[in-house]
Each structure stands twice: as C-alpha cells, then as structure tokens.
C-alpha cells in the first residue's frame, strides 16, 4: 500500500521572522497564485486549519478554479495594486505558489508603484530564477508583509521518505538516484534547474529553462533518434531543491503529468528529495506510477554525502 505524505520538519527561515501563529492577529492568509494544483491545495489546507484565505490570482497563469475561494485577479506588473489589495483584505502573511511563466518585460503593464521600482525590477530580470524570486521576496518584505513557504502552511504536500508505491527500484536505479542527487547538489549554486535524468550512471539530460515536462519530451525524442541506447525502461528522473535557494519561494514539484512524461521517455522511476519536493494529487500520482510500472522513491537530503 502506498505511503502518504507525512509532516516533515519545516526548513529554516530568517531568524528575524516570528514562528507561524506568533502574530497576534495575522488576518487572512494571502495566497498569490500561479497555475497548477498547488495553490488550491494550500488554500484548502489553510482553511482546514481554521485560517481564512484570500487568493490573489495572477492573470495569464492562475486557473478559474481560484474563483471557488475569496479572490482578486491581479494583472502582471501591478505591484502597487496587489499591495493595496493585500492590505485592504487584511493579509499580513503571504504565500507565493504555482506555475508562473517569466514574462517578457514589454508584455508587463506597470503601475506607478512598480515604475518607481523599475531599476530594481530590471536588475532582478538579469539573472536566474533564484535571483528573480529573491528580488520579488524583498519587495514584499519591504512593504511590510511576512512571506511564508507553502510547505509551512501545508506540510502534507511535502514528499515523504521511502518507496511511495508498489514498484521497488533496483540496486542500479538507486545508484543512478544517488548520482543524480550529487549532480544537482553541485549544479544548484549555479542556479541551474532542479531536475535531471540519469541512465546507467550517465547524466543524459539536465533541466534548464524548459522545465521538467519538456526535458522529458527531449529524452523521449533522443531515444527515438537513437541517441539514448539504454534499455526501455531504464534510469531515473531526479528532483531536488537547488543548494541554498529560498525554499519559501521555489520548491520543485511533482504531479501525475510528470509520471506520464517519465513513462513516454522510457525512464524506470522517479527519485525526489524527501521534505524538499512538493507533491500534488498524491494518490493519483501513486496510482498512475503503479499502473505504468514506475517506481517513486523519496530519498534523504544527505544522500549525496553518504553515497
């Protein structure tokens, strides 16, 4: 029987930040929503814990499902409007969650509050995702909001340790997982992706700007072209957070769509850092993996140090 996600000790936050719930009246939780299932999962978890929520849905990214909750639609580039709406709804604590495509600057319609910050905004875009997200976090903190990680609000979305479905990884696949974890540990400080594919001890693909799903499509194409000659299935998709990244802002994620991509690419399984990857639709994820004969493995964060 598949293990379910269990609570994992939260990652460390800024020493200056109070613990969750220390605020005398934190008000509703403001959830700034991109696309995907995670914003809704966090909203439901907060409500189940007795915390009211208001969803601030980014136009062009968030889906219509946010309208089942108290919500405000936010155009990209309107930081002043977003800040005013957060304050109007009494949101002192904020979570940012969901898929957001990095917009082209020319497509953003800026308000005055954003225009005043344009030199900083331009500098934020000159770098990788970590650089951009860290800059965004500072804007919110300087405006008086407390930024929380989604995993702090909804710890049940974190991947647990161990084999998560019925399929057991073989010894050589566990070796591939360790190689992948070490490789991501080294690549992380360079702000390069949060995933890669290892087959028979060889890194065959590294996630960059295209994201996990397109990386898996690339692996499938390489196999069709004969550039990957490993048996089908073979190898491991490995995902873990970048070394030193702010986990309040960007944790790697895994959902049923990823399982489908792994199967099409002829990959034997998925290895993720326990407590470092958020999982959507866990039961469906495990069901699809079991049906496809794909293993799911949560490995400890220090596996690269013990391999």
DSSP secondary structure letters along 194-226: SEEEEETTEEEEE--TTHHHHHHHHHHHHHHTT
79 three-state secondary structure: helix
Report the candidate in 242, 237, 225, 243 with the shortest Cα–Cα distance to residue 285. 237
- What are the extents of the domains in the chain? 29-155, 158-306
User: Which CATH architecture does the domain made up of 158-306 adopt?
Assistant: 3-Layer(aba) Sandwich (3.40)
Q: Which of 63-77, 91-105, 110-124, 217-231 shows the lowest per-residue confidence on average (mean pLDDT)?
A: 110-124
d(C-alpha 16, C-alpha 20), whole Å = 12
User: Which CATH architecture does the domain made up of 29-155 adopt?
Assistant: 3-Layer(aba) Sandwich (3.40)
| Whether the bond into 233 is cis, omega within 30 of 0 | yes
pLDDT at residue 10 is higher than 50: no
What are the E-state strand segments in 38-191?
A: 53-58, 71-74, 93-97, 146-148, 162-163
d(C-alpha 64, C-alpha 93), whole Å = 23
| Residue pLDDT, tens place only, 262-290 | 999 999 999 999 999 988 788 999 999 99
d(C-alpha 45, C-alpha 229), whole Å = 44
Which residue's entry shows tokens 């999982």? 279
155 three-state secondary structure: helix
Q: Enter the tokens of residue 276.
A: 């470092």
239 three-state secondary structure: strand
| Residue pLDDT, tens place only, 84-137 | 999 999 999 999 988 876 666 666 677 666 666 666 666 665 665 555 667 777
53 contacts 43 by C-beta, under 8 angstroms: yes
Helix segments in 10-128, DSSP class H = 38-48, 79-88, 112-115, 118-125
Higher pLDDT, 11 or 104: 104
Calculate the average pLDDT of the chain: 83
DSSP 241: P
Per-residue confidence (pLDDT) for residue 66, from 0 to 100: 95
Per-residue confidence (pLDDT) for residue 11, from 0 to 100: 35
CB neighbour burial string for 216-241, b if at least 16 within 10 angstroms, e if fewer = bebbbebbeeeebeeeebbbbbbbbb
Q: Enter the tokens of residue 151.
A: 């995993």
């Amino acid at each position: 029987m598949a293990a379910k996600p269990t609570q994992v000790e939260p990652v460390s936050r800024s020493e200056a930040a109070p613990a969750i719930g220390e605020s005398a009246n934190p008000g509703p939780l403001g959830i700034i929503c991109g696309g995907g299932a995670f914003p809704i999962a966090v909203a439901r978890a907060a409500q189940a814990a007795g915390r009211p929520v208001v969803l601030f849905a980014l136009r062009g990214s968030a889906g219509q499902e946010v309208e089942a909750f108290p919500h405000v639609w936010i155009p990209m580039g309107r930081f002043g409007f977003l800040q005013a709406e957060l304050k109007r709804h009494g949101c002192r604590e904020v979570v940012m969650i969901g898929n957001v495509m990095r917009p082209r600057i020319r497509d953003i319609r800026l308000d005055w509050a954003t225009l005043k910050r344009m030199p900083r905004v331009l500098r934020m875009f000159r770098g990788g995702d970590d650089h951009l997200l860290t800059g965004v976090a500072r804007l919110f903190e300087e405006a008086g909001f407390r930024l929380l990680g989604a995993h702090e609000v909804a710890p049940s979305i974190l991947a647990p340790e161990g084999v998560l479905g019925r399929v057991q990884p073989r010894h050589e696949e566990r070796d591939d997982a360790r190689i992948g974890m070490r490789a991501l540990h080294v690549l992380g400080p360079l702000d390069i992706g949060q995933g890669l594919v290892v087959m028979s001890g060889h890194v065959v693909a590294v996630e960059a700007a295209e994201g996990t799903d397109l990386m898996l499509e690339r692996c499938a194409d390489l196999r069709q072209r004969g550039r990957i000659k490993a048996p089908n299935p073979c190898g491991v998709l490995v995902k873990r957070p970048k070394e030193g990244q702010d986990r309040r802002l960007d944790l790697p994620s895994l959902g049923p769509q990823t399982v489908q991509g792994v199967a099409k690419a002829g990959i034997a399984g998925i290895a993720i850092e326990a407590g470092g990857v958020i999982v959507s639709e866990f039961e469906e994820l495990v069901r699809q993996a079991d049906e496809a004969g794909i293993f799911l493995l949560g490995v400890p964060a220090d596996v690269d140090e013990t391999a």
